[in-house]
Structure 1
Amino acid sequence: MKEKFLFWRISSWLLGSLLVLPIIAIFITAMGNSDQVFSHLMNTVMSTYALNTLGLVVGTVLLTLVFGLPCAWLMAMCRLPGEKILQWALILPLAMPGYIVGYLYTHWFDYAGPIQIWLRELFGWQHVSDYWFPDLRSLWGACFVLALVLYPYVYLLVRATFMEQSNNLLQSARLLGCSPWQSFCRISLPLARPAIAVGVSLVAMEALGDFGTVSYFALNTLTTAVYDTWLGYSNLNAAAKISAIMLLVIFLLISSERFSRRKQKMFQQQCGNDSHTKYQLTGWKKWLAVGWCWGLVGCAFLLPMLQLVVYAIDYFAQSWTEQFKNYSLNSLMVSLAAAIFAVLLALIVNFYQRLDSSSISTVPMRLASLGYAVPGTVLAIGVMIPLTSADHLVNDVARSLDLGRPGLIFSGTMFAIIFAFVVRFAAVAIGSIESSLVKIPPSLDMAAKTMGYASTAMLRKVHLPLIRRGCLIAGLLVFIESMKELNAAILLRPFNFETLATYVFNFASDEQLEVAAFPAILLVIVGLIPLVMVNRSLEQKH
């Protein structure tokens, strides 16, 4: 008798529906009455929020292209001194939180900062009216800071595409007399358009959902509007309306990117390039290329990291406190719980998709992955809506049974943060386990069924031992992402509960990052782990 996989089917659909529930809740709540708060915002400040958001996204995208594209082409197509180290170093800024870089740069370049003090002493300037200096606490300053930490998205994706381009095309370009610049403009760049589009989409979504940097720079965007409307006006419906607008913008970004290249098809018979086909830069071009790449690494990672290390040494006594230990334990608990639940969920939906080969079996997996595209601040709204309803239901039932009032057992505890982290990062675990499962030949499944193994026994005795490494990587990635997540944690944290990310952000907001430099370094080091894993996998493929 053919097994119906009833447990796996029901579990997958329940989990997929549960994880997409926050997104559905945002749109349902957005249709409710917001007591004219939303109308007031639309008539007064919403246009400013929208224009600032548009300027932030466009400016950040343009700067990431300026930073990332040249580095990607130089690392993939040219021979440079120290390129083995440099290709690793260029991804390091992705581990640096934007609000930390923003704090450090404003500290360096403010009127009372060391740069302007040195310039006034050097040229004898006495007052701010004696000279002009760019104001970093502005829209362009936020774009610059975000571009410094987000350009690795473009660099990684485009570099991989450049490395996969056909040797025949590049050699033909050389035979036709194309210079490296002409080869880049006429061949490499057009072929890399899909990777550029994906990288730009990721950068745009990150910039759209950023809260820490824009909040520190006092820049009003749609993300800060969600935060202010919820906590300032205490109006969840109005916050849900703004969140729904942001989700629609993200949907349009992704859809337009795919629509723009819907008919684009590229076929290459010989892919990849080696050291023999790379351009050998000489003279001033070589040193300009090396200076550009190392200068970018220095500005985006080395100098901020060095400043944090100096702060951590000078303020270690103030940093190593009981608060730091408690908040580190908080981060460890919620991140570990999120990693465990995300891996279990990923196992269920992936295994169901393997058992049932029909196209509908992939739907729960796709539903569970949608949360990764939702900004953390928006996701916090979506999580709070169903959890608040669940709390009201539990308290009403308990009161009707004379059991008292349990309180906010869902929305007022660590459960809210853990649930948000699972919704946000389940796609990471699903993708990692999916890539491990597809490598297992179907013949092993048939052999296990022949031996009388049911689906649960087959997963435990056949698949789990083979995908153990993929599960560990999935859990590690979710754990690290949860440790760094600020947007959802700062809105969903219970009373008197902090994570390392919110702890560091609070000190940065109070202009006291020096005291939190040690936990900030810990967050950066944790963030480096997935970057090393990504770069190693990229090198193994080539």
Structure 2
Amino acid sequence: MQETSRNDFVPTEGIAPRARRERHPAAFLLALAIATVVLVPVAVLATIATTGTGADWPHLARNVLPGSAVTTAWLLLMVAGGTASIGVTAAWLVVAYDFPLRRTLAWALVLPLAVPTYLAAYAFGEFFHFTGPVQGAVRALFGYQTMRDYWFPDIRTTGGAAIVLSSVLYPYVYLTARVVFIMQGRNIADVARTLGASPAKVFFRILLPVARPAILAGVALVLMETINDIGAVEYLGVRTLTFSVYSTWLNRGSLEGAAQIAMLMLVLVLGLVWAEQWARRKQRFHGARATQMKSKPPRVKLSGWRAALATVSAALPVVAGFGIPLYVFGDYASRRLDQIANPALHAAFVNSILTAGATALLTVAAALAVMNAARLSRSAAMTAVARLAAGGYAVPGTILGLGLLFALTQFDNTLDTFMRDSFGISTGLLLTGSAGAVVLACSIRFLALAEGAIRSGLEKLPPNIDEAARSLGRSPLGSAREILLPLLRPALFTAAVLVFVDTVKELSATILLRPFGFSTLATHVYENASRGVVEDGAIAALLIIVTALIPVVLLSGALMRDGDAAM
């Protein structure tokens, strides 16, 4: 019997697909409208890229794409290697060995997820700057006076950017590898040990090949985040394809050229999505029984220098990915307490809260509509619609923002022309350059997060619970309002929190779509960093990190409650 993937959007039990599909066309049409909105930015970009004159393409192909493509490829390669090495090593240490602080480090290794990549870049840039603590210590230790007296590696390079991104993105690999080591390692590793295999041989010959699909899935997610980044690479002076999209559009004024580069990026992202799904398919082949999670895995107790080395090795990623940003921004904030009264900071904070709140409400409502339609209709068409609606998360914020900007501009201009011709009234730009555009972009991008949280809640409910309510005379809407919504309240809250936090952190799309003079916490930090005064955005940076800690703390709590995994 073929195994059903947990990633399927549609429940499979107890549903009569044809009857439902015919009786609930409104739910299907609503889900289709949501999926269409998700696809509009990409469709608009593709149209611009393929229907233009192509006048800028020779310049792009000769002077822009070769350098940015090579830089992007090197950055992706180094980040993939860095996150895989850190994540797999950390996961193996906390699962296979017992050493001082292991319980604490097992969940602390997730903390760098609370630090956006652009904040990590600003923090590393300040930490390793000539006036920063590291070079200051070097000069004090060896008596150097100027930069000409010694050599120090430059963080503003492709290699430096890879270190920065790896330091905050490795938890994606750590989490996936850790779960596989726990679920699969206890049986096959025990068998291998009874046959006389050394711990190193068990790891490299048995466990690592078994965990390879999970590791590849985590690395694919890391690379998607790397491609999406604009704040870090711009600050560090690394000219990736994402940077080239901004440069081509803003510096050359070429919308067509920017759209063409964006389409190349989208092809690369779709390849990563395919690789991630393929890896998860392979991971399912090696799945372990859930009941195996009840017994604790055997761990090798380390002592002496081995225990110290293990502790340091597991602690270094936490210090780099979370400790350095917290130290840098905490230190700056303590010396910029006057910024608390800054009206610009207040406005950015209020804008972030309002934007993130509106995005959370809109996104959860849209995700609930899609999931309800999927619950009512199990058709192949509805399955395709649900998957399309969740596709926005795979689109980098730069591409999404650029495509949505063009789409909204076209809509506003068309409406203005119609109103002028018909009623002599100019409507101007209603949506372009508005806070509503930012909300819409973030809703499209994070719809998949909300769907995932709501789907997890639906999977815990009896498949026919709403049918039982309807058999007692409740309409589909009444059944959803009186039965499903109360039962799904925890899942809806989780979805809203995830979307809220990611919207507060979002930078790429917000830069493109925000109104003039409109700043969020993310753009407030970005603007100060662009002017070379990172310290003036320190309090805003801390607010972002504290907000992003909410889901990380929830995740860490889940790890702590898992007696087998954490402790």
- Say yes or no: TM over 0.5: yes
What amino acid is the match of 1:529? I
For 1:193, the equivalent position in structure 2 comes to 212
Q: Which one is further off, 500-509 or 253-262?
A: 253-262
Could you tell which deviates more after superposition, 250-259 or 484-493? Answer: 250-259
| CA pair 313-260 structure 1, distance change in 2 beyond 3 A | closer
Query: Match of 1:289?
Result: 310
Report whether the alignment pairs 1:266 with 2:286: yes
Match among 85, 92, 115 for residue 111 of structure 2? 92
Q: Tell me the equivalent position of 1:76.
A: 95
Preserved contact between residue 100 and residue 508 of structure 1 (Cα < 8 Å): no
Query: Residue 341 of structure 2 aligns with which residue?
Result: 320
| Worse overlay, 12-21 or 118-127 | 118-127
* CA distance in 2 between partners of 1:53 and 1:378 (Å): 16
1:210-269 residue CA offsets vs partner (Å, 9 max, x unmatched)? 101100011111001111122222222211111100010111223345557867732546
Over 3 Å counting, the alpha-carbon distance change for 1:150 and 1:314 in structure 2 is same
CA contact (8 A) 2:64 2:244 kept: no
- Asked if 1:25 is matched to 2:44, the reply is yes
Amino acid at match of 1:26: L
**Higher mean C-alpha displacement, 469-478 vs 276-285:** 276-285
**Bigger mean CA deviation after superposition, 292-301 or 212-221:** 292-301
Of 220, 225, 233, 1:206 maps to: 225
Please give the per-residue CA displacement for 1:294-329, whole angstroms capped at 9, x wherever unaligned. 122112212320221121121010343111111111
Contact kept? 2:98, 2:301, Cα under 8 Å:
yes
Partner of 2:409: 388
Which of 381, 386, 399 is matched with 1:378 structurally? 399
Task: Report how far residue 144 of structure 1 moved.
Answer: 0.5
Task: Say whether 1:527 aligns with 2:522.
Answer: no
Question: Given the alignment, which residue of 380, 383, 404 partners 1:362?
Answer: 383
Coordinate RMSD, CA, aligned: 2.0
Distance 1:292 1:305 in 2: 20
Change (3 A) 1:263 1:287: closer
Residue type matched to 2:286 in 1?
M
Summarize the alignment of residues 439-518 of structure 1 with structure 2, pairs less than 5 Å apart. 439-518=460-539
Letter of the 2:106 counterpart: Q
CA deviations 1:447-475 (Å, max 9, x no partner) are 11211211111100110111011111111
Indicate conservation of the 8 Å contact 1:49/1:222, yes or no.
yes
CA separation of 1:485 and 1:261: change in aligned 2, threshold 3 A: closer
Amino acid at match of 2:553: V
Is contact 1:484–1:501 with CA below 8 Å preserved after alignment?
yes
Structure 2 counterpart of 1:428, from 426, 445, 449? 449
Give the secondary structure class of the aligned counterpart of 1:516. helix
8 A contact 2:183–2:293 mirrored in 1: yes
Report the counterpart of residue 238 of structure 1 in structure 2: 257
Q: Distance in 2 between matches of 1:357 and 1:259?
A: 24
Give the Å deviation of 1:76. Answer: 1.9
Q: Residue 154 of structure 1: CA displacement?
A: 0.7
Match of 1:218 in 2: 237
Does 2:161 match 1:180?
no
Alpha-carbon distance in structure 1 between the residues aligned to 2:282 and 2:522: 43
Whether 2:59 is the aligned partner of 1:40: answer yes
* Identity, % of aligned positions: 37
Q: How many residues align?
A: 542
Change (3 A) 1:309 1:257: closer
Amino acid at match of 2:396: P
Q: CA distance change for structure 1 residues 115 and 168 in 2, over 3 Å: closer, same or farther?
A: closer
The structure-2 alpha-carbon separation of the partners of 1:124 and 1:310, relative to structure 1 and needing over 3 Å to count, comes to closer
| Range 461-470 or range 14-23, more displaced | 14-23
Counterparts of 1:28 and 1:12, CA distance in 2: 24
Q: Alignment partner for residue 355 of structure 2, among 334, 359, 375?
A: 334
**2:14 match:** none
Q: Which range moves more in the overlay, 174-183 or 328-337?
A: 174-183
Give the AA of the match of 2:237: A
* CA deviation after TM superposition for structure 1 residue 360, in Å: 2.3
Residue type of the alignment partner of 1:311: Y
Q: Work out whether residues 170 and 183 of structure 1, in 8 Å CA contact, stay in contact via their aligned partners in 2.
A: yes
Q: Tell me how far apart the structure 1 counterparts of residues 253 and 439 of structure 2 sit (CA, whole Å).
A: 23
| Alpha carbons 2:35, 2:385 under 8 Å: kept | yes
Report the residue type matching 1:160 in the other structure.
V
Q: Which moved more, 1:186-195 or 1:176-185?
A: 176-185
**Match of 1:442, SS?**
coil
Please list every run of 5 or more consecutive structure 1 residues that lacks an aligned counterpart in the other structure. none
Q: Is 1:417 aligned with 2:417?
A: no
| 8 Å Cα contact 2:107/2:560 also seen in 1 | no
Q: 2: distance between equivalents of 1:166 and 1:116?
A: 43
Q: Which residue identity does 1:321 align to in structure 2?
A: N
The amino acid that maps onto 2:239 is N
Structure 1 residue 25, shift from structure 2 partner: 1.9
Letter in 1 for 2:98: R
Cα pair 1:338 1:419 within 8 Å, conserved: yes
C-alpha separation between the residues in 1 aligned to 2:532 and 2:397?
24
Taking a change above 3 Å as real, the CA distance of residues 536 and 34 of structure 1, as seen in their structure-2 partners, is farther
Instruction: Name the amino acid aligned to 2:41.
Output: P
Q: Which amino acid aligns with 1:151?
A: Y
SS of 1:102 mapped into structure 2: helix
Contact 1:319 1:517 in 2 (8 A): no
CA distance in 2, matches of 1:192, 1:79: 21
Equivalent of 2:268, from 224, 231, 249? 249
- Tell me how far apart the structure 2 counterparts of residues 506 and 18 of structure 1 sit (CA, whole Å): 30
**Of residues 61, 74, 80 in structure 2, which corresponds to 1:61?**
80
Cα separation, partners in 2 of 1:176 and 1:70, compared to 1, 3 Å: same
CA distance in 1, matches of 2:168, 2:255: 32
> 1:127 Cα deviation (Å)?
4.9
CA distance in 1, matches of 2:250, 2:78: 29
Going from structure 1 to structure 2, the CA distance change for 1:121 and 1:309 (only over 3 Å counts) comes to closer
In the alignment, which residue of structure 2 is the partner of 1:156?
175
| Residue 88 of structure 1: how far off its partner (Å) | 1.7
3-state SS of paired residue (2:51)? coil
Q: Is the 8 A contact 1:79 1:275 kept in 2?
A: no
Whether contact under 8 Å (1:433, 1:471) holds in the other structure is yes
Q: Is the 8 A contact 1:365 1:430 kept in 2?
A: no
